[in-house]
Amino acid sequence: MNTQQIRIIDRLTGTIEQQLASRDLTAVTATVASLPVPELVPVFDRLTLRQRAVVFRLLPKERALEAFDALPPPLQSDLLHGLQDAEVSRLFAELDPDDRAWLLEEVPAALATRLLRDLPEADRLLTAGLLGYPQGSAGRRMTPEYVSTRASFSADETLDRVRAGLRDAETVYTIPVLDDARRVVGVVSLRDLLGAEGDARVETLMQPARTAEAADGAELVARRCADLSLLAMPIVDSEQRLLGMLTIDDAVRILEHEESEDAARQGGTEPLRRPYLSTPVRSLVRSRVVWLLVLAVGATLTVQVLSVFEATIDQVTVLALFVPLLIGTGGNTGNQAATTVTRALALGDVRPGDIVRVLTRELRTGALLGLLLGSLGFAIAGFAYSPAIGAVVGLTLLAVCTVAAAVGGCMPLLARAVRVDPAVFSNPFISTFVDASGLVIYFVIARAVLHL
């Protein structure tokens, strides 16, 4: 949004908050009645849970449906808790099947069962079908509502099918072409149909279909859909029979969700499920405390290592001065490598099988960086203290950077190989490992150089 739109949203949010605080519900009703839904959603993102529930109940019926549909699933789930059963069922039934499946993953199990049970039969079958696929798979995110055609049909016949399916189908711009066994043999775009002669056969207009299986991970499929610039990707079973379509807008939402998850985990937190300002402080604490504890426990390792070398520090106290610098630099180097490789993994540019190539590249990169920093460290510490201290600092920097880059580059690949989120292994774990090993390297070098 540009600055002007941002100011409008802020002003509106402030107005609504004031009106709510003074319990002036008539004023709130008037304010939100005039708001189009794309302006309403950012306002909702900035209210607290209670405020959202109140405002939502004041929306006119049609607007409420539209707003509900536009909210992300965690906020939808919040809203359902405060509403009457009939209202809940109505909102739920109006969603598209794939959006229903997404929402059901967010609500408590008892509510999920009730929501499914209260659906009209046809809708329930559609939604239950999607839920049959494993969590996180493409099958959960595809839409079962689409228009299909046959290779032998004409362009006009296909356009008739499109017109007939307009009301229900989520996407009509990419049309899968099926054979008698419902296997996908190609796709034809609405654009190509319009540009062709009415009696042209679909098989002369169709393109090869890029498909994905319903059991494939949703993130991989979404990334492929985006890479190939597809408006919709046919989702098939292991026999290439069509099950549904994954549309680009759902692919984008999946990727945004995954990016948030990766960004959070690389920073050592669990991802937030709601927009930041609508997340209560206790949820912020909960998203961070586990990681912080794990890291702190790991860091006690550094206390152990240092206690082993306590006598050395007592002898040459100046060694203690460089500890944060050395392990900090090691941590940064490892973090850089892990960040780069984790992102490359996410984009599909590297895979666990590439570990040897990654290791050699990171060893070389780390050694070059360590050589540069080590020379600087030797020069500065040697000048400020003594050549011996300078040598210790310089050699440690060289060793630590090399080890850190290698470890940082390989950890994400190992994580992916054992099916753990690579972003989880980044920054946090690597810092701990590099800190402890860096200290050992430092004091071993110090004892050797200074003959302690």
Which parts of 166-225 interact with its own copies (CB under 8 A)?
A: 166-167, 172-173, 190-191, 194-195, 208, 210, 212-213, 216, 220, 224
Nearest to residue 148, comparing CAs of 107, 196, 190? 190
H-helix or E-strand containing 197? none
Of 280 and 387, the one with the shorter C-beta distance to its own copies is 280
Q: How many other CB atoms sit within 10 Å of the CB of residue 2?
A: 6
Q: At what angle do helices 61-70 and 37-45 cross, to 10 degrees?
A: 60
| Residues of this chain, 14-43, that bind its own copies according to CB under 8 A | 36, 38, 41-42
Rule CB under 8 A: choose which of 129, 136, 328, 382 binds its own copies. Answer: 328
Q: How many other CB atoms sit within 10 Å of the CB of residue 78?
A: 20
CB of 18 to its own copies, least distance (A): 16
CB of 80 to its own copies, least distance (A): 22
CB of 264 to its own copies, least distance (A): 6
Decide: is 10 part of the binding site for its own copies (CB under 8 A).
Answer: yes
Decide: is 276 part of the binding site for its own copies (CB under 8 A).
Answer: yes
- 136 conformational bin, left if phi > 0, alpha if psi -120 to 50, beta if neither: left
Cα separation, 183 vs 178, whole angstroms: 5
| Residues of this chain, 364-423, that bind its own copies according to CB under 8 A | 364-365, 368-369, 372-373, 376-377, 380
Nearest to residue 286, comparing CAs of 297, 299, 272, 275? 272
Decide: is 149 part of the binding site for its own copies (CB under 8 A).
Answer: no
Rule CB under 8 A: choose which of 342, 396, 402, 437 binds its own copies. Answer: 342
Cα separation, 264 vs 421, whole angstroms: 12
Nearest to residue 405, comparing CAs of 448, 376, 434? 434
Decide: is 444 part of the binding site for its own copies (CB under 8 A).
Answer: no
Decide: is 231 part of the binding site for its own copies (CB under 8 A).
Answer: yes
Rule CB under 8 A: choose which of 33, 125, 277, 448 binds its own copies. Answer: 277
Rule CB under 8 A: choose which of 80, 187, 428, 446 binds its own copies. Answer: 428
Cα separation, 92 vs 75, whole angstroms: 14
Binding segment toward its own copies, per CB under 8 A, in 59-67, 90-98, 106-114, 336-344: 336-344
Binding segment toward its own copies, per CB under 8 A, in 18-26, 73-81, 94-102, 430-438: 430-438
Size of the site for its own copies (CB under 8 A): 121
Largest CA distance in the chain: 93
- At 232, give phi and psi (nearest 5°): -160, 145
Binding segment toward its own copies, per CB under 8 A, in 74-82, 107-115, 125-133, 327-335: 327-335
- Extract the tokens encoding 327: 């392990």
Of 119 and 139, the one with the shorter C-beta distance to its own copies is 139
Of 144 and 268, the one with the shorter C-beta distance to its own copies is 268
Cα separation, 280 vs 204, whole angstroms: 57
Site string for its own copies, 107-146 (x = CB under 8 A): ----------------------------------------
Cα separation, 413 vs 408, whole angstroms: 10
**Residue 216 DSSP symbol:** S
Of 25 and 385, the one with the shorter C-beta distance to its own copies is 385
| Residues of this chain, 352-371, that bind its own copies according to CB under 8 A | 353-354, 357-358, 361, 364-365, 368-369
| Residues of this chain, 43-102, that bind its own copies according to CB under 8 A | 45-46
Chain mean position to CA 380:
43
- 128 conformational bin, left if phi > 0, alpha if psi -120 to 50, beta if neither: alpha
| Whole-Å CA distances, 172 to 20, 31, 188, 224 | 43, 36, 10, 20
| Residues of this chain, 239-268, that bind its own copies according to CB under 8 A | 248-249, 252-253, 255-256, 259-260, 262-264, 266-268
CB of 77 to its own copies, least distance (A): 18
Q: Residue 392 in 3-state DSSP?
A: helix
- Extract the tokens encoding 21: 């605080």
CB of 251 to its own copies, least distance (A): 8
- Extract the tokens encoding 45: 């993102």
Site string for its own copies, 284-313 (x = CB under 8 A): xx-xxx-xxx-xx--xx-xx--xx--x--x
Q: Which residues pair with 188 in a beta bridge?
A: 175
CB of 192 to its own copies, least distance (A): 8
Rule CB under 8 A: choose which of 21, 86, 110, 281 binds its own copies. Answer: 281
Of 144 and 370, the one with the shorter C-beta distance to its own copies is 370
Contacts of 107 (CB under 8 A, 6+ apart): 77, 80, 115
